[in-house]
Amino acid sequence: MADDTTDTKSSNQMWGGRFASGPDAIMEEINASIGFDKKLFAQDIRGSIAHATMLAHQGIISAEDKDKIVHGLNTILSEIESGNFEFSRQLEDIHMNVEARLATLIGPAAGRLHTARSRNDQVALDFRLWVKEELQKTEQMLTGLIAAFLDRAEEHAESVMPGFTHLQTAQPVTFGHHCMAYVEMFGRDRARVRHAIEHLDESPIGAAALAGTGYPIDRHMTAKALGFREPTRNSIDTVSDRDFAIEFLSIAAIAGMHLSRLAEEIVIWSTPQFGFVRLSDAFSTGSSIMPQKKNPDAAELVRAKTGRINGSLVALLTIMKGLPLAYSKDMQEDKEQVFDAAESLELAIAAMTGMVRDMTVNTARMKAAAGSGYSTATDLADWLVREAALPFRDAHHVTGRAVALAESKGCDLAELPLSDLQAIHAAITDKVYDVLTVEASVASRKSFGGTAPSEVRKQIAFWRARN
Ligand code: ARG
């Protein structure tokens, strides 16, 4: 700093007053976070401008010094944005890199910026602002993914496909209904994101090192200036917790899990054996040796990114679990986990939105598959309950015998002659054939949230109104 008497080469110019010598090279390497926390430059500068403005408003620093500080900080912002800023590892982190540059630009007034604050509340602020913006971005991206699914669901409200349990053909459903299952999942993910934004919407600045400050600061003023609902209420908690970051990672892990299941389905559906969907050229790759291949790499990578996100969540939980209150340097390791997970999540949502919008759905293949595997057996049992007044357990047994017979004849249930069915149960009439088609099966499932096209359309309307 301009009026600093310490030798910046030997000890740290920010906190080196009581240090006779500078750090060992390894100390510098393990200590420095500038390599990754430079990502927080915009938040750091915004926070400092709000803090300096408040300090001047409260008469803690002069208006002239505040003006110099704000002007200097804006200069630094454009320097960094235009790539004309030299980050120094000696200066450890983004906070001290900015402050040191401010001193070069405006002289001694720069030394007044750090009045009534600490890097502990400063980093808590910068990181919260960053996570809040990332959550807002995630909310928008999820809205885009939901919109893509709503369009496909509308297009395929009547397209029949096999529904699976244990990945064995279970009952016919519509592809629209299957798409809407993902709308529900990503809708809940988005609700979790909105909750998380509410939870973290408190301003940390002014908690200072851990105990608050004796200066007459106005934390409500800085909270408002930085777009927070209110200031945090406990200075120790403020500088010591990172639950907002862990909450982001938890949400990312849950959304990642949903994205990964979708990815897995796309991998299965796009095999020649299934042939339910064909991925666009834009979202698949070829093989360098096998010319016939079209690989679902994007889906596979979404599946893999989820593993990374889970790793980040576990890492940060583990970093935090043993720390006594308040701040410990361990917490510096929070950022890379969150940055990496955020990048993975953004990519995964974007890739999935593209794949869902672009993929071609083979409705003929889906319909053929829907009818195989005796998928309408439950409809036969339900018919016996309804039309022949059998208890469901008996109807289940009768239907089982019909399935066994069809299996031994190598045909579908609907292909068994009436005489065969009547030999199994005398009450069966030719009306039963009406419920054995896949279309009749799905159309009959009109219970709330069921797969009937009429129900699927209701759920699409519900979500369209909320998206
Ligand atoms: N770079 C540090 C971090 O990310 C900033 C806070 C440092 N505070 C301290 N007391 N050393 O956590």
Torsion angles phi and psi, residue 161, rounded to 5? -140, 165
The Å distance, Cα 62 to ligand 1 centre, comes to 28
In this prediction, residue 203 carries a pLDDT of 98
Three-state DSSP at 18 gives helix
Residue 395, pLDDT > 90, answer yes
Amino acid at position 301, single letter = L
The Å distance, Cα 201 to ligand 1 centre, comes to 21
Name all residues whose Cβ lies below 6 A of ligand 1: 33, 37, 93, 119-120, 123, 327, 329, 331-332
In this prediction, residue 4 carries a pLDDT of 42
Cα distance between residue 87 and residue 214, in whole Å: 33
Both structure tokens of 375:
């998928």
Both structure tokens of 51:
């803090």
In this prediction, residue 3 carries a pLDDT of 41
Q: Which residue has the higher pLDDT, 9 or 439?
A: 439
Residue 2, pLDDT > 70, answer no
Please identify, by atom number, the ligand 1 atom nearest to the C-alpha of residue 92: 1
Residue 1, pLDDT > 50, answer no
Beta strands in 166-312 (DSSP E): 168-174, 202-203, 230-231, 277-278
Please identify, by atom number, the ligand 1 atom nearest to the C-alpha of residue 334: 4
In this prediction, residue 412 carries a pLDDT of 87
The Å distance, Cα 209 to ligand 1 centre, comes to 10
Q: ω before 326 within 30° of 0 (cis)?
A: yes
Residue 7, pLDDT > 60, answer no
In sequence order, what are the beta bridge partners of 278? 360
In this prediction, residue 235 carries a pLDDT of 98
